[in-house]
Amino acid sequence: MGNPEVIGKFIPIRDAVLKATGELKYVADMKMPEMLAAKMLLSPHAHARIKSIDIEAAQNLPGVCAVVCSSNVSDLRYNSSIRFFEHELPETEQVFPEVVRHVGDRVAAVAAENEKIAEAALKLIKVEYEILPAVFDMEKALEEDAPPIHEGGNKVGQIFTEAGNVDEAFKHCDRIYEDRYEMPPIHHMEIETHTAIADFDSLGKLTVWTPSQNTFNTRLLLSRIFKLPMNRVRVIRPTIGGAFGGKLEMTIEPVVAALAIQARRPVKLVLDRRESMIATRTRHAAIVIVKTGVKEDGQIVAQDFNVLTNTGAYASSAFNVIGAMSHKIFKIYKILHMRYKGIPVYTNTPVAGAMRGYGSPQVFNAQQAQFARIARDLGMDFVEFQLKNVVDPDGLDQRFKKPLGNPRVKDALLRGAELFGWEKRKKDNRPVEPGWKRGIGMAIGAHGSSLFGAHRDVTALSLKVNEDGTFVLYTGTHDMGNGSVTVQTQMIASVLGIQPEDIECVETDTDLVLWNLGDYASRGVYVQGSAAKKVGESMKAKMAEKASNFLDCTIEEVEFANGSVHVKHDPERKMTLSELVVKTQAVDQEELLASESHSAISGPTAYGVHFAEVLVNEKTGKVKVVDYVAVHDVGRVINRMGIEGQLEGGIEMGLGYALSEEMRFNENGRLINSNLKKYVSTHASEMPKIQVEFIEGFEPTGPYGAKSISECATVPVAPAVMNAVCDAVKKDLHTYPIKL
C-alpha cells in the first residue's frame, strides 16, 4: 500500500533551510580559480547594420583575456526555443548578428580579470553603424511599406484552428459583441538576473553553469554553434533564483561559452537589471480582437478570436506561444462554434519568449473582460452567465470531440462564489472613503498539464538504493523554487514506504542525469511526477523480487512500510531495506538500480476561478485590491504547502500584470523604465487578503490523480481585477495595465 500519508501533506521544499540561511549558492555566488569577469556591448540602436567593428584596442588593454564579436564567433543561425534534436522552428538568431534588430541586441563581449577592466574594454570597441528604419508597432509592422526586419517580411506566420461553422452561427445570435483588448510586453522580474559561467578545458570539453529551465536544449544549441560533439558539452543547472519562463530559452550562454573557448579560463557573466530586461526575454505584447454571439438568455453561440502577438526582433517562441494560446480557449466553455487566428509579428523591440501562462493570460484577459461586459449588457449575474456556459465533467474539446478528462471548473466556480460571498457582496452598501468606489469581479482561466498533442513530452529518471536503505534520485527537473523535485521524492516515498528525506537528489546535470524535455508547460507534477512514481514502482518491483527470495514468499506477499519489507500475513518475517540491499550485494552480487522513461499520455486541463474586490479612486486612477479568493481544479493536491505557495505567488504576478507592469519604450525603441524603481510591480504591502482552495476531482491519467497548478495560477488574475474595476466605475475598459 506504500506510504500514502506523505501525499497531500504540508512538506517544505528540499532546499528551504539552505535558502533561508544563505548557504545555497546561486550562479552569481560561484567562484572558480582564475575566473574572469565578462561584460557585453549591447546595441544602442533599434535597427542597424554593423559596417565595421574594431576590437584591437580592447584586446590590447592590460587584463583583457578575450574579446568576441561577429568576426570571430560562429555565424550559425538558430532558434533559442527549440526543445529537441529534430525540432524545427524559424532560425533567425545569431550569437552576434551583423544586423542588430533592437536596442539591447548583442554586439560584442569582453572577458577580463575583473569587471572594471571589462567595462573599460567595452568603451574601446569602435563600432560603425548604418542606421536602418525601425518599426515598433505590431500593426504598422504588417503594413505593406513597413521596413522588413527579416527577409520575407514581418509576419512570422499564422496559426488557425476552429470548431463548427462560426460565420453561420453568428447569423443565429440575438446579440453580437466585438471588442479589442491590448496588452503590453512585461518582464519576468526574477530576483536573480540572468547569469552564466563557462569553462573550456584542455581536452576540449565545454562546461556551462546556468540557472536554465532547459539544460538539454542549451546543450544541443551549444553543440551546434561551436561544432562540438554533444558528449563534449556539459550543462549544469545550479539553484534558480526565479525564472517564470524567462530562463527557458537560451540567451547569454553562448556568449560566455565563446569567451571561455577563446580565453581558456572560466568566465562569468552577470547581467544587471537593465541588461536582463532588454537583452533576454519578455512576455509577448498582444492585441486580441474577440467577437462573441449570444442568445438573450446568455447562451454563448459563437466566438471568433483574431490575435496579434509581438515576438520582437527574433522568432524565438513566436509559434510556440501563439499556438499554445490557440488551444486553451476550446477547453472551458460549451461553445460549439469557435475560431482562432493568431499572427506573431516581428518588431524592433526586445525578444519575446515564454512567460508564466504561455499565451493563456493574453487570450483570457480579453475573453473574460468581454464576457463580463456581455453579462452586464444582458442584465445577467456574471456567475450565472459563467455557470450556464462552462463545461461539465464530461465536456469535450469542440474541435476533436474528445473528452477533456475530468474538468471540475463548475465545482470551482460554485465554491469560489461561496467563499467570496458573491451574492452578499453584490448588495454590499458599506460606505467607502470619499472619492473611492467599490467593485467586485471574477474570471476563469485554464492551462494545460503537458505538451501532449503538441510534440513529444518525455522525462527519464534513475533511482539507486544505498547500503543503509537510503536512496539517490537522478533527475533532470529544473526546480525553480516551486518544489518539483520535492514532489518527486514524495511520490517515490509513497511507493516505497519511506519518507521523502530518505531520498537525496542529484539534479539537472546533462552528464549525470537522463534526458528531460525541460520545465515548462506546467508538466512538473503531471509528467515528471508520473515518471517519479513509475521509477519508484520499478525499484519496488526489483526489491520485492529479491525480498521474496530472502523471505521465502511470493512477490505478491511482499509489503513495504516504514523502511522495511515484510510478509503480508506474517509481519514478523521481515528485513530492513538496508538488510535487503546488503544481502543482494553479498548473495546475488548485484546493485539495485532503476531507470524509467515516461511520456505524457494525455493533456488534462487545469482550471482556476478567481474573485476580486477592489476600491477605485476615479480621480487618481489608483486601484486597491482588498480581498481575493482563488479556487483551482488540480485533480489532487500532492504538497499542500507547495501548491498554496504556487497559487499565492501566481496571484501576486497577475496583479502586477493587471495594474502596473508594462515595458515602455521611447520613439527610438529605448526602454525608459529599465529598473525596479520605474518598472512598478506589486509590493508585499499592496497584497490583498487571499483565500485559496482546491477542488480535488481526481485526474485519472495523473500520478495519484494530480494535474497542474503552476501557470494556471496567474491566468485568471488580471481579468478578475479588470472586471472588478469595470464594476466599480461602471464602464468598459480594454487596456492592460488598467487605465481609467
Asked if 573 and 614 sit in the same domain, the reply is: no
Percent helix, percent strand, percent coil in the chain, to nearest 5: 30, 25, 45
pLDDT category at 291 given cuts 50, 70, 90 is very high
pLDDT of residue 165: 97
Mean pLDDT across 578-586: 97
pLDDT digits (tens, 9 = 90+) for 258-282: 999 999 999 999 999 999 999 999 9
Asked if 586 and 646 sit in the same domain, the reply is: no
Asked if 495 and 366 sit in the same domain, the reply is: no
**pLDDT greater than 60 at residue 154:** yes
Q: Does some domain include residue 167?
A: no
pLDDT of residue 3: 63
pLDDT of residue 215: 97
Asked if 356 and 500 sit in the same domain, the reply is: no
Asked if 207 and 100 sit in the same domain, the reply is: yes
* Structural domain that includes position 195: 34-132+191-242+247-279
In sequence order, what E strands does 55-123 have? 64-69, 99-100, 106-112
Domain end (from 570, 599, 628): 599
* Contact status, residue 450 vs residue 602, Cβ threshold 8 Å: yes
Asked if 613 and 550 sit in the same domain, the reply is: no
DSSP result, 395-462:
-EETTTTEE-SS--HHHHHHHHHHHHTHHHHHT------TTEEEEEEEEEEEE-SS-TTTS--EEEEE
pLDDT of residue 34: 97
Asked if 609 and 595 sit in the same domain, the reply is: no
Q: Does some domain include residue 407?
A: yes
Q: Does some domain include residue 290?
A: yes
Cβ burial of 86 (10 Å; 0-12, 13-18, 19+) is: exposed
pLDDT digits (tens, 9 = 90+) for 91-122: 999 999 999 999 999 999 999 999 999 999 99
Residue 453 CB contacts under 8 Å (≥ 6 apart), including other chains: 327, 603
pLDDT of residue 4: 64
pLDDT digits (tens, 9 = 90+) for 116-137: 999 999 999 999 999 999 999 9
Mean pLDDT across 578-601: 96
Residue 487's CATH number: 3.30.365.10
Mean pLDDT across 611-640: 97
Asked if 436 and 511 sit in the same domain, the reply is: no
pLDDT digits (tens, 9 = 90+) for 200-214: 999 999 999 999 999
Domain end (from 543, 576, 599): 599
pLDDT of residue 403: 87
583 sits in which H/E element: helix 577-588
Asked if 265 and 292 sit in the same domain, the reply is: no
Asked if 431 and 546 sit in the same domain, the reply is: no
Q: Does some domain include residue 707?
A: yes
Asked if 398 and 382 sit in the same domain, the reply is: yes
Compute the mean pLDDT over every residue in the chain, rounded to the nearest whole number.
Answer: 96
In whole angstroms, how large is the CA radius of gyration of the chain? 27
What is the total count of domains within the chain? 3
Q: Does some domain include residue 146?
A: no
pLDDT category at 631 given cuts 50, 70, 90 is very high
pLDDT of residue 402: 86
pLDDT of residue 401: 87
Domain end (from 556, 577, 599): 599
Model-level pTM? 0.96
Asked if 346 and 366 sit in the same domain, the reply is: yes
**pLDDT greater than 90 at residue 586:** yes
**pLDDT greater than 60 at residue 2:** no
Mean pLDDT across 178-202: 97
Mean pLDDT across 366-394: 97
Q: Which of 387, 413, 355 is nearest to 632 (CA)?
A: 413
pLDDT of residue 1: 40
Mean pLDDT across 634-641: 96
